[in-house]
Structure 1
Amino acid sequence: MGRILGCSLLALGLALPAAGAALADDAPASGSPATGPLTLVTLQGAGTSAGSKDAAELLARQDALLAAIGAGEPVYRWTTALNGFAAHLSEDQLSVLDDQPGIAAIEADQVRPLAGRTTMASVRGATTPRLRGGAGVVIGVVDSGIAPESPAFADVPGLGRDPRSFAGACAEGEGWSSADCTRKVVGARWFVEGFGADRVRSSESLSARDVLGHGTQVSSVAAGNAGISVRVDDRDAGRYGGVAPQARIAAYKACWGAPDPAGDGCSTADVVAAVDAAVADRVDVLSLALAGGEGIDTLQRALLGAAEADIVVVGASGNTSGSAYAAHAGPWVTTVGSAVGRMSRGLVALPGGRSWTGGGRPAAVAGRAVLAQDAPAPGVSRRAAGQCRRGALDSRRVAGRIVVCRRGGIGRIDKSEAVSQAGGRAMVLVNLRPGAVSADFHSVPTVHLSAAAGRELGRWVARHPGVRVRMSRASGTPGTRRTAPWSASGDPRGVALKPDAVADGDAVLGAVPETSGRSWGVFSGSSAATAHASGLAALLLAERDAPAAVVRSLLVTSGTPIRGSSVLAQGSGALPGVAPTGHLALDVPRHAWRRALRTHRLDALNTSSLLMSARQTTAVRTVTNVGPRPEYFSVTARGFTSHRVTVRPLAVRLRPGQSARFTITVSGPTGPGRLDDGELVWLGALGGTTRVPVALTR
């Protein structure tokens, strides 16, 4: 029997039978109640999505196993994405289970975190949206649900053709009726048995309705309607549109709010049940903006079933850099990490030409500056005034001035509101320690500076209290992308190179439930990046109607490398803002994934990346022309510093649908050493670039 991550039942916190313990003869009576932990059991073989079994046969195998261990009806049964169940099992039942044949994995249920952080109160201005794309495609979003009343999900004209094969349902519940499903929100289901309905916070809705806001934001970024006016506090913040605005959304709520927000998250059992339902419903893209889990666990096996059903699966790498490797290790999942640095920039300039640049979208303004800690209201401490808390500033000293506020204590947007209430003209927000800057939608023109720039500005203002400073939008393009320092990197000893790519994951605008008091908010993390990648997958499917493995390859090979970042941090690089245009793909037959998993040869799959160990000196891949015309393609190895990497052949001419094999050969140091990495870059004569990242873990 296989165990998750190669761990024993003891390592999972489950009891092993004592030496010589009796087996089935001493099992509890069939159907006896069990009060033990919720356990996920996966049987060997595929679910019905692989096309080799029918549900009745799988259920019969489950019944036989449950009878053998003396268990009653489980909490969940899964037959589509995988063959398995979730059940509360006693220690005696677990002891018997460990010796049963035909089991692929046993795993204790756990609550996984969402891979994003939501800020309801600060909004960065919207950008010019794409008006079309994704028509006929259904994105299944496994998350905290959806707020159907948002204009991002209205049943508007211009959605294009209806989905051809989606067969999902609209499950009713608290605050949700069948009327909440429309041509835009085409399906809604909810799963709470793993998390526990008795453990959710009182404000939660036992339905697909979103309370946390995370699922609404993910859905809106991936497929929110185009051309929506965004207003925050009666101020115009531009127009909005998702990446694939004509795509439809099916919401699978498997993530819940707990009384203590630290307990928010997604039970693995609920998530697997959601995946099983989404595969049965025949979604086209499956988005999971949640992290947690390592190796090929129960969820990864369920996502394998989704890939076998020809679904493009996209998962978040997580925000745990330094403490855990990237989540979603399965090579059949497009795992997406976070990039930062593309925010709008603001400029603070002094007389004589000295200036600092930070995050912001300020209108041009000039005036005398004042340090907030030097302008406390009567009876208020300098510390509270320095943090620009509400009511902490003396309006006689602040009115008409540019106020320099310290970060911390309260929300960033609350500081600019305090400045506005005190009559301040603008704000410079300064970090007190190393950290990111932001470009929020503030009450007054604002520039957010780093700690070093803030210290320099503060010293200058203290010495020149009567001199005017200027603020304005920084000219030129937004800042240079870099991999987010908190974005989880891939395991150099893993089964595949992760993450596959990165996308913008910092202060991304999205819709939120109106119960939050606002209709829009920003969120950060690999959740936002995953939503972007899911929308791109929908654009590709709508344009090309290609198999999921081809869409996955076109997507992950379209990244642009980020300078100074290893491929284990960024994969192929930052994903584009438009549908990839490459004509070359690395296809994987649907049944090859499971065969490779069964034979422990996942490294031999025709994946769009390479993770090569010291034992490997050669690898073979196959490229296919998925473009409409014959084309000449050439390849170059780039970026490697301590190894020589060669590719043969260097060029091929392929007709549409024609494939060619190429061999990668590595020579150089073979002993332990630092990671070496680079990329294989295919250039097409008719345009398009295909990047295959390579990591040498020697």
Structure 2
Amino acid sequence: MGCMMRAALARGATGLLALTAAFVAPWTVVPSSGAADHAPSDDLYLVALRAPGTSGYDGGLGVRDYRGAVLAQQDFLLQRVDAPDPVYRWTTALNGFAVRLTGAQVDQLRAAPQVRMVERDTVRRVTGTSTPAPPGAVGDGSGRGGRGVVIGLVDTGVHPGSPVFAYSPELGSRPSGYRGTCEATGRWRRTDCNDKIVGARYFVEGFGADRLRAGADTSPYDDDGHGTQLASLAAGNADVPALDGDQDHGVFSGAAPLARIAAYKACWSAPDPADDGCSSADVVSAIDAAVADGVDVLNLAVAGSPGLDAVDLALLGAAERDVVVAAAAGNDGSEVGHAQPWVTTVGGTTGPRRLGALVLGDGTRLAGAYTATRGVRPTPLVDAATIPAPGSDERDARLCVPGSLDASRAAGRIVVCERGRVGRVDKSAAVRLADGVGMVLVNASGEGLPADFHAVPTLHLGAADGRALRQRLDRGRVVGRLVRTTAPAGKPQVLAVTPSGRTGTGVVKPDLVAPGAQLLAATSPSGSGPRWTLTAGTSAATARVSGWAARVRAAHPDWSAARVRSALLTSATSTAGEPVSLRQGAGLPRPATALDPGLVYDVPATAWRGALDRDTAGRLNLPSVLAAGGTRVVTRRVTNVSGRASYFSSRAWGFTRHRVTVTPAALRMPPGATRTVRIRITPTGAPGAGPGRVDSGWVAWTRSDGTRARIPVVLP
């Protein structure tokens, strides 16, 4: 905070006066030139100040006094530029405010020495995807972990009526450290907070209530579904039957079934879905509130920018309050968002596929994506194009447009429909309306095979198999049955939508990957709509990581957030076909193994702020290494958290153009001890170097019983 600031951090009234004086140090206000700069503006700006919020303050004043000084500094800046009353003020995770400014006022605030950044408010997308990724598996949600931990989710709210959020005596007593409230308004009742959902708030001033679609609820209630999906994946109750009418999707469990949920609704639906999203001012306000309320884990599934922004600064404040921060890497496959060292940034992977087959009378099997838990007995098939309803044409019928099928010819049959024009699930609804008992959905070209929940059992086939099936139907009567099949899970692969990290960040990103394809999740029903869905994207992966972090935090309540993060990273396993760690980070977490990682890489909460300098970020005691430029020695400190004296041996492997050695090569450590280790990196001159090429591998410490703590090392 600078010499002047530090000198002011004395206790008592004198210290408060000195600190306030430092906060309001004058600066020369120079009006901007040009009439356009002085024109009135309705634009909302986020102003982040250099001094931290209360969560990052480590001086001698009490929280109340320091907050008073923060507010005085904000008042001083607002008055100096003659700004209107701010839309939001932030004093906990961030010291700043959101306010409507003219161009001249923006220039003046950017020139103020107390201001770190001024940025225009933007609307960001949630990082789920409505176009499902390649078929994947329901992740491992078994277990009873998470008791006593509160997961805060900044998203579209939560639907309290789902059985995954019902109160259970197994939850135990309410965490005393959480101070959040339930905002009873709109469709949200105070009784919707039930000790499973312990907090529910909403933030809409940045997005604007006047921009909401008709029927959108200005309350914590989730009228979109995304927030409910993530809350269920992170902390949904265990062993809940996933039933939708006559559809049985099996049994569901969240990653940390005994964790509590606090919903902070900051993402909204507009009349045009293309305008849906989350105002960055609302997101910062939600983060600030969650940190003030006392959440233990914070889940953010909102797109980030490649560089540092106000949202990332608010997440810094959360990390300084010792909150485990998990954020989605993004879904556009380009640059990783939230690439800051204090954030656990999460990418997505595939998993075991949901498969089925159409078995014809002669034994021919046509395989594809299939989610139904029941099959369809041997039944005649019919090409939808041959049974248009009166008033419908062949093209509409071929695509199974709702209302286009003749029920007298579809009843009791498996209907073969083609993908296109209307939603995939709308086609199965049309088949059901026409009394069909099943559907085969055929790709028109080379699209993927998403697995959706359908109104009737549905097999999704590729274009080639679809053409072969239609040729059979052209030749005469075809009878077949729909069956569910299984296949070896194989090793998960990183989803194409997961962006790759960059060497220029100074840290390995993403930190982790987790299942992010076709995960079963509870959702917020629209009327009589489905209560369960398959969700995909790095947001789904992030929710699982948040739940796993809650399990580790519950098992080790004395561990810092950095230790929890280290345990997840060092116990992870690699994905398939990803030798370069900038795609997978440490890999796939193994939550059960993370409970006993052997060694951890701890980072004091007070150290994160120093990482605002990129050169400093690489020197943090992170459970990963990104080192560039010739021979280097990287220092790390490891702590024995096994609870007993242990022997650890080191190993480095996987590198093709560097020799990597660890000193000392072995450690004998008493419980709780910390030792400094050095990783020496020497180029070997081996071929393969070039622009954009990186070398990567692993450094691991293995305990005498085989427990391994492994970190990724990336060498541009």
1:338 corresponds to which letter in structure 2?
A: G
What secondary structure does 1:493 align onto?
helix
Q: Which residue of 2 aligns with 1:627?
A: 642
Q: How does 1:255-266 map to 2 (within 5 A)?
A: 255-266=267-278
Counterpart code for 1:481: P
- After superposition, where does 1:544-623 map in structure 2 within 5 Å? 544-545=556-557, 546-565=559-578, 566-576=580-590, 578=592, 580-581=594-595, 582-598=597-613, 600-614=615-629, 617-623=632-638
User: For the structure 1 residues 290 and 127, does the alpha-carbon distance in structure 2 shift closer, same or farther, using more than 3 Å as the test?
Assistant: closer
Residue 714 of structure 2 corresponds to 695
Distance in 1 between residues matched to 2:355 and 2:284, nearest whole Å: 42
User: Structure 1 residues 238, 195: CA separation in 2 closer, same or farther (over 3 Å shift)?
Assistant: same
Aligned 8 A contact 1:39 1:106 in 2: yes
- Contact conserved, 1:118 with 1:214, CA < 8 A, in 2? no
Give the one of 680, 683, 687 matched to 2:699.
Answer: 680
Percent identity reads 45
Superposed CA deviations along residues 331-387 of structure 1, whole A, max 9, x for unmatched, are 111111111242322234567876453321454544555444355445544432332
Given that 2:137 and 2:351 are in contact with CA atoms closer than 8 Å, whether structure 1 keeps it comes out as no
1:665 to 674, 681, 706: 681
- Secondary structure (helix, strand or coil) at the match of 1:534 reads helix
Matches within 5 A, 1:276-287: 276-287=288-299
Is 2:524 the partner of 1:524?
no
Structure 1 residues 227 and 447, CA gap change in structure 2 (3 angstroms): same
User: Aligned pair in 2 of structure 1 residues 647, 348: CA closer, same or farther (>3 Å)?
Assistant: farther
Secondary structure of the residue aligned to 2:195 is coil
Aligned-pair CA distance for 1:440? 3.1
Q: Give the structure 1 partner of residue 484 of structure 2.
A: 473
Check conservation: 1:343, 1:438, Cα contact below 8 A: no
Q: 2:308 aligns with which of 271, 276, 296?
A: 296
Report what 1:275 is aligned to. 287
The question of 1:637 aligning with 2:656 is answered no
The alpha-carbon distance between structure 1 residues 247 and 409, as it changes in their structure 2 partners (threshold 3 A), is same
Q: Which residue of 1 aligns with 2:493?
A: 482
Q: CA deviation at 1:673?
A: 4.9
Distance change (3 Å), C-alpha of 1:75 and 1:479: same
Is the alpha carbon distance of 1:453 and 1:638 closer, same or farther for their aligned partners in structure 2, counting shifts above 3 Å?
farther
1:48 pairs with 2:54: yes
Report deviation, 1:63.
1.8
Q: Which amino acid aligns with 1:553?
A: S
Equivalent residue, structure 1, for 2:17: none
**What pairs with 1:346-425 in structure 2 (closer than 5 Å)?**
346-349=356-359, 355-361=365-371, 363-364=374-375, 365-367=377-379, 369-377=381-389, 380-394=392-406, 398=410, 401-422=413-434, 424-425=436-437
Q: Is the 8 A contact 1:217 1:511 kept in 2?
A: yes
Q: Which of 10, 15, 24 is residue 29 of structure 2 equivalent to?
A: 24
Letter in 1 for 2:52: A
Q: Is the 8 A contact 1:367 1:470 kept in 2?
A: yes
Q: CA deviation at 1:206?
A: 1.8
Quick one: distance in 2 between partners of 1:125 and 1:562?
Answer: 15
Q: Distance in 2 between matches of 1:583 and 1:252?
A: 35
Could you tell me which runs of 5 or more consecutive residues in structure 1 were left unpaired when the two chains were aligned: 3-21
Change (3 A) 1:178 1:376: closer
Counterpart residue identity of residue 97, structure 1: L
Q: 1:398 deviation in Å?
A: 5.0
How does the TM-score come out when normalised to structure 1? 0.88
Distance 1:481 1:25, change over 3 A: closer
- Match in the other structure for 2:507: 496
CA distance in 2, matches of 1:325, 1:128: 28
Q: Secondary structure at the match of 2:292?
A: helix
1:389-444 deviations in whole A, cap 9, x for unaligned? Answer: 33434556655554433222223233333334445453332323334323333344
User: Deviation string for 1:134-185 (max 9, x for gaps)?
Assistant: 1110011111111222222222222123213111122232222333222111
Deviation at 1:548, TM superposition (A): 0.3
Classify 1:270/1:167 alpha carbon distance in 2 versus 1 (closer, same or farther; 3 Å): same
CA contact (8 A) 2:379 2:413 kept: yes
After superposition, the C-alpha distances for 1:186-242 in whole angstroms (9 at most, x for unaligned) are 112211111112222221222212111211111111111223222213333222221
Name the Cα RMSD after superposition: 3.1
Aligned partner of 1:164 in structure 2 is 176
Deviation per residue, 1:446-479 (Å, 9 max, x gap)? 32233454445555x3576446555432234446
Counterpart of 1:326 in structure 2: which amino acid? V
Shift of the 27–449 alpha-carbon distance from structure 1 to 2, 3 Å rule, reads closer
The partner residue of 1:149 within 138, 161, 166 is 161
Which secondary structure does the structure 2 equivalent of 1:594 belong to? helix
Secondary structure of 2:566 counterpart = helix
How far apart, CA to CA, are the structure 2 residues paired with 1:479 and 1:125? Answer: 11
Match for residue 648 of structure 1 among 659, 663, 684: 663
| Count of residues in Structure 1 that have an aligned counterpart in Structure 2 | 670
Q: 1:247 aligns with which of 232, 241, 259?
A: 259
What is the CA-CA distance between 1:624 and the residue it aligns to?
1.8
From 209, 214, 217, the equivalent of 1:205 is: 217
CA separation of 1:277/1:337 partners in 2, compared to 1, >3 Å: closer, same or farther?
same
Alpha carbons of structure 1 residues 597 and 204: separation in structure 2 relative to 1, 3 Å: same
In structure 2, the residue matched to 1:10 is: none
Paired residues of 2:139 and 2:515 also in contact (CA < 8 A): no
Measure, in 2, the Cα distance between the counterparts of 1:370 and 1:458: 9
Change (3 A) 1:613 1:125: closer
Deviation track 1:84-109 (CA, whole Å, cap 9, x = no partner) reads 11111112212222321122122111
CA distance in 2, matches of 1:335, 1:599: 17
2:396 is paired with a residue of what secondary structure?
A: helix
CA distance in 1 between partners of 2:167 and 2:353 (Å) = 31
Change (3 A) 1:465 1:571: farther
The one of 504, 507, 527 equivalent to 2:518 is 507
Indicate which of 308, 324, 329 corresponds to 1:317. Answer: 329
**5 Å matches for 1:27-38?**
35-38=41-44
Of 345, 355, 359 in structure 1, the residue corresponding to residue 355 of structure 2 is 345
Q: Distance in 1 between matches of 2:626 and 2:137?
A: 40
Deviates more, 1:636-645 or 1:248-257: 636-645
Give 1:117's aligned amino acid.
T
CA distance in 2, matches of 1:662, 1:623: 11
Give, as a single letter, the amino acid of the residue that structure 1 aligns with 2:404. A
Who is 2:45 aligned against? 39
Amino acid of the structure 2 residue aligned with 1:304: L
- Measured after TM superposition, the shift of residue 504 of structure 1 is 1.6
Q: How far does residue 576 in structure 1 lie from its aligned partner after superposition? A: 3.6
CA deviation digits over 1:598-653, x for unaligned, max 9? 47411111112222334564322222222222233333333334444333344333
Distance 2:54 2:442 in 1: 56
Could you report, residue by residue, the CA deviation over 1:514-536 in whole angstroms, capped at 9, with x for unpaired residues? 44433222222111111111110
C-alpha deviations, 1:257-306, integer Å up to 9, x for none? 11211111111111111111111111100011111322121111111111
Mapped to 2, the partners of 1:73 and 1:621 lie a distance apart of 47
CA distance in 1, matches of 2:397, 2:179: 58
> Would the alpha carbon gap of residues 91 and 651 (structure 1) be closer, same or farther in structure 2, given more than 3 Å must change?
same
Counterpart amino acid of 2:172?
Answer: G
Is it true that 1:116 corresponds to 2:128 in the alignment?
A: yes
